[in-house]
Amino acid sequence: MSDTTTEPTPFRHAVLAAVLQVRAGSLRVLLWQRAQEPHRHRWSLPGGELCATEDVEGSIRRQLMEKVDVQQLAHVEQLSVFSAPDRVPGHRVLATGFLGLVPSDNDPAIPSDTAWHPVDALPATAFDHQRIVFDARDRLRAKLSYTNIGFALAPPQFTISALRELYSAALGYRVSATNLQRVLARRGLLEPTGEAARPGRTGGRPAALFRFTEHGMQVTDPFAVLRPPGTRS
């Protein structure tokens, strides 16, 4: 009988975060430019090696605060483990990927080698980081349908029109403000603040301000799916 036992493969374990935010009307991801080989000058997700004394979520939160000063993450969740043997040249490196969300009214201080890039127009990225970004985008889009995760994209108070713009940017298609308000209100996710936004340059009746009722991620309708206009269920 042949011995099928194999020796465990030594590897390092990294943590990476696809930090997303709606900025300037589009969904963007935070990337920093590598200064060393391999993939020098390519854009990478923030993160680093997991320390022996920390768990993966604690590690990515620490590294984001240390490297890019993203301290106001409204939501963080684990995406997946990326373990292709050849994902990084040389010594094998497994990576635990995370989705992080920053509200649209937050403007974190970032170093000069770091920038926000449109998810739909990424520059050349290192290793498998493009896949991780797209997985994060797809996770966000899915959860906008059946959870209250929109709270992590929105400022504390907003008009329905402004919320529509956030959802539209994240989903990649135009959302009806009326339908969005109806769906979120039916689920008990929105409440009026009793205040109104400042009138615009053209005057008119000030728009009412709303807020999310909860600021922790909850499944609100496990079977709901938001679809682009004109598509059938």
| Same domain? 92 vs 30 | yes
- What pTM was estimated for this model as a whole? 0.90
| Same domain? 183 vs 131 | no
What's the pLDDT band for 7 if we cut at 50, 70, 90?
A: low
Report, in angstroms and rounded to the nearest whole number, the Rg of the chain calculated over CA atoms.
20
Residue 69 is given by DSSP the state: -
| Same domain? 76 vs 171 | no
In the chain, how many domains are there?
A: 2
Domain holding 200, by residue range, is 145-212
Interacting residues of 28 by C-beta distance below 8 A, sequence separation 6+: 20, 21, 22, 116, 117, 118, 119
Q: Do strands 12-23 and 26-33 pair parallel, antiparallel, or not at all (unpaired)? A: antiparallel
Residue 144 has pLDDT above 90, yes or no: yes
Number of helices (H), then strands (E), belonging to the chain: the values are 4, 9
pLDDT at 206: 86
Q: Is the Cβ–Cβ distance between 74 and 212 less than 8 Å?
A: no
Alpha carbons 177 and 88: distance in angstroms, whole number: 44
Residue 3 has pLDDT above 60, yes or no: no
Q: Is the Cβ–Cβ distance between 43 and 130 less than 8 Å?
A: no
Q: Is 4 within the bounds of a domain?
A: no
CATH number of 202's domain: 1.10.10.10
Neighbours of 121 (CB within 10 A): 8
Residue 174 has pLDDT above 50, yes or no: yes
